[in-house]
Amino acid sequence: MSIRDGFIAGLPKAELHVHHVGSASPRIVSELAARHPGAVPSDLGELRKFFEFRDFAHFIQVYLAVVDLVRTPEDIRYLTYEIGREMAEAQSLRYAELTCTPYTSVLPHDPDRGMAIEAYTEAIEDARLAVERDFGLVLRWIYDIPGESGLPAAEETVRFALDHAPEGLIAFGLGGPEVGVDRSQFKDVFDRARAAGLHSVPHAGETTGPETIWTSLRDLGAERIGHGTSAAEDPALLAHLAAEGIPLEVCPSSNVATRAVASLAEHPLPKFVEAGVIVTINSDDPPMFGTTLNNEYAIAADLLGLDESGVADLARAAVRASWAPDDVKTRVLGEIDAYAGS
């Protein structure tokens, strides 16, 4: 039995960089498309072709088309519960921080297509509790700003986070396209979120250079960096990340699919590890990129030349870099040790 097919599949894991809507498998999207016929095909074969991306801009187009299928609290609840089922049953996940973008579902600027924030919050929380009860998977939420929608979306998102916070909300993020979206413009909303006790975890340096990461550290108080791919271009930045213990949320297949890196063979993951940077392995939008968390761990094992012990260390790093409750961290680390024979 190979490390890919055996050890990784059963290894208890945590995931820190995975998007709520972007985790919808073809099975889930097919159900949502059947509920809301239109731009997204409900046939599974057609869906696979629909998800074949040309570049990052095309990915955003496809992603937003799927977002448009999530229109009601019932859709949100179904999506969240079924994502949790697949994470627990197929990926051996014990803990996950799901990045949610309530702005695109609540849509205060388009009330005919959105729902009330209270209904959104109730739906994700009901699903979160059911997932933990039924599958033993602990979920927490990161609310992120869709950067392409600018400051209006930022203001709404921080309002949702501060005035309508679900019990599972732990962090505040920033996603969407990086090119042309200056991170520093969001400093005030991140300051307010951090003052309320939320962690800061923006995407940065995925499709832009290292300066985007520096800006996120300086102006947004980033405690982890989503992707951070271009950090490899700046030795001083790598040294800073290592010295300060700021983890990178690495998503290899996503980086290739969006053309952030040319190929897996050229992925900077080994450079990060060599520089002493904490790395966690994640799947980002796994069905949309034709991957799974298990597959990302196998890719990381290949890139880093890891045996089972090394792969278990990657799983431990994700747990330690998470914002899980201490008792959950202790439990999951104990499960990893027991599984790995440590």
SS3 at position 334? helix
Note the Cα 226 to chain centre separation in Å: 8
- Say how far apart CA 254 and CA 21 lie, in whole Å: 15
- Kindly name the residue from 206, 223, 249, 296 that is annotated as catalytic: 206
Write b or e for each residue in 39-75: b if 16 or more Cβ atoms lie within 10 A of its Cβ, otherwise e: ebbbeeeebeebbebeebeebbebbeebbbbbbbbeb
SS3 at position 99? strand
- Say how far apart CA 258 and CA 266 lie, in whole Å: 14
Q: Which two tokens stand for residue 247?
A: 């983890």
Q: Which two tokens stand for residue 85?
A: 């089922």
| Contacts of 84 by beta carbon, 8 Å cutoff, 6+ apart | 127, 128, 130, 131, 135, 137, 139
- For residue 206, indicate whether it is catalytic: yes
Give catalytic residue positions: 206
